[in-house]
Structures are given as C-alpha cells and as structure tokens.
C-alpha cells in the first residue's frame, strides 16, 4: 500500500486548493512526519477549522473534526482532556491561529496541554476575500489594505513562546526536509508544541502584491529565513527583517493533564483516609 492510499481520502479528490498553493507542501510534510513516527491512524485525531489551511485535513484518512472559525484549539483541548491517550494534531491558518483564535492559542500554550499546532502562514485570508491577517507584513497589500498594511506584523512564534509553549519551531515550504524533521519533533514532544510554516498564496496575496508566480514566491520565502547558526554571524540591525528558522524553544515543563490527574488523585486518596 502506498502512502497516498494509506493516508489520503482519495474519494474526496480533486482538492479545492488553487494552483501553486503551498499549503499542500506543508500537509505532505506532516504526513511524512506521521509516517516516520508510525502513529496509529485510529488514535491520531486531526482538528481543523475554517479557511484554506482549515480544510486540508478533510483529505486525510484519520478521525477528524472541523470546528467554527478560530475554535480548533478549544475543541482539541476537549478531545485531549476527555481521552488523553489520543494524539491530537491541529492544522490551522494564520487567521484561525493568530486572529479570531489568538486568545485560544495563548492559553493553549500557557496550559501546556500535550498536543501539536501546525500554523500555515501565508499573510492573507485566502478563502474569504483576501483580507489582511495579523501576520501580514507592513507595506503588503490586501483587500482590506488597498494602500498597504500599516499595522506591525505579529510574530506567532514569539507570542506562543511568551505564553509558555514548551516547543516552538519555524519552518517553510522551501526547506521541506528540515520541515519534516521539525514537525516530527513537535509531534513527539510532551506538551504544547507549535510549528509555524511559512507558505504562499499566489491567488489572493500574490496577485495583490504583483508576485503571483509560485516559484518566485517560494524563492522569496527561502530568502526570508536563516538558521540560528547563520544568525550568529549577523548584527542586530541585519537581523531586524529576517526570521529565524528551526527549533526556537525546546524545554520540559509539567504537562496540564498529568498535573490535573496528579492533584485529583491526591485529593481522592486524601478523602479516603
């Protein structure tokens, strides 16, 4: 049996994604990571919400659930609390994760619940009309920023690090072998793990920013990031507009469900004395 037959719901094809969309590369990277780890498809749950990234897990042959916009992490939290043995993976876009779902992202990181959030960042609301996202860079154009984005760009990795996420990584759809490794490490991590994946949207973002050729957009993504080792050779000023790529946070902290079980078991034992 091929990976396609094993992991994809081929009866759901053809897919909805536009030609040149990078989200499929991110999804394929996740599939390779899952395959390498040998996860049980019956106990690995995919959670998604609304938008281009939010629709992709529908094509995967795993138990899955689609949620209201921005609420993927809340549903994922409920699933994990109800059945802790399940492996829960949430696949989101930047609107789901950083805009309408931003509050849930913060508190999922703060609680350190054992699940993985993969956030596909393409700087735009690709499905609902090309509105700008919190991750849109200053000066870039969107349907709701026809004269250019004037708000500062949100760094989702710094946000979840500050909130307490115990594993944070950034990858992109150019460095796919590295991305496979990052997602694999995130899924294996005990606690709340986040992988930000820089991807492209040729249809909404590309056309508005006069760069709708997918190969050129992916080349631009390649040039947006450097590794932490490369960053050591640059000055603070040179690093100002460059994003770090790789594992940004990797630490051990008490996991929420284990701590909850510990205190409830302690109270039960105390009540029996």
Summarize pLDDT for 220-232 with one digit per residue, the tens.
Answer: 999 999 998 899 8
What's the predicted TM-score (pTM) here? 0.94
Question: For residue range 71-107, what is the model confidence (pLDDT) as tens digits?
Answer: 999 999 999 999 999 999 999 999 899 999 999 999 9
SS3 234: coil
Look at the chain and report how many structural domains it folds into: 1
SS3 call for 108: helix
Strand order in the sheet with 44-48: 64-66, 44-48, 87-93, 115-121, 192-198, 167-172, 243-250, 225-227
Burial 6-33 (b: 16+ CB within 10 A, else e): ebbeeeeeeeebbebbbbebbbbbbbbb
Closest CA to 43 of 6, 12, 84: 84
CATH of the domain at 86: 3.40.50.970
Please tell me the distance from the alpha carbon of residue 168 to that of residue 210, in angstroms, as a whole number.
Answer: 32
DSSP 127-165: TTT--B-TTPPTT--BTTBTT---SPPP-HHHHHHHHT-
* Residue ranges making up the domain that contains 106: 3-272
Write the CB contacts of 240 (distance below 8 Å, at least 6 apart in sequence).
none
Torsions phi, psi of 83, nearest 5? Answer: -140, 85
Q: How confident is the model at residue 258 (pLDDT cuts 50, 70, 90)?
A: very high
């Amino acid at each position: 049996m091929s990976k396609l037959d094993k992991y994809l719901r081929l009866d759901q094809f053809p897919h909805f994604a536009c030609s040149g969309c990078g989200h499929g590369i991110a999804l394929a990277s996740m599939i390779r990571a899952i395959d390498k780890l040998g996860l049980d498809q019956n106990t690995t749950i995919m959670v998604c919400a609304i938008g281009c990234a939010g629709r992709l897990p529908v094509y995967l042959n795993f138990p899955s659930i689609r949620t209201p916009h921005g609420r993927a992490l809340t549903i994922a939290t409920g699933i994990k609390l109800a059945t802790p043995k399940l492996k829960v993976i949430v696949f989101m876009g930047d609107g789901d994760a950083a805009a309408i779902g931003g509050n849930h992202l913060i508190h999922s990181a703060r609680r350190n619940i054992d699940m993985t959030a993969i956030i596909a960042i393409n700087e735009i609301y690709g499905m609902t009309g090309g509105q700008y996202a919190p991750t849109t860079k200053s000066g870039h154009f969107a349907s709701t920023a026809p004269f250019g984005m004037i708000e500062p760009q949100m760094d989702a990795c710094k946000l979840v690090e500050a909130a307490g996420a115990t594993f944070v990584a950034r990858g992109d759809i150019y460095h796919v072998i590295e991305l496979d490794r990052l997602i694999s490490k995130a899924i294996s991590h005990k606690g709340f793990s986040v992988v930000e994946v820089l991807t492209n949207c040729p249809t909404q973002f590309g056309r508005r920013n006069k760069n709708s050729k997918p190969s050129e957009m992916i080349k631009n993504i390649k040039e947006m990031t450097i590794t932490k080792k490369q960053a050591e050779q640059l000055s603070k000023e040179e690093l100002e507009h460059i994003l770090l790529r790789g594992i940004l946070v990797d630490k051990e902290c008490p996991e929420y469900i284990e701590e909850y079980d510990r205190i409830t078991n302690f109270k039960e034992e105390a009540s029996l004395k």
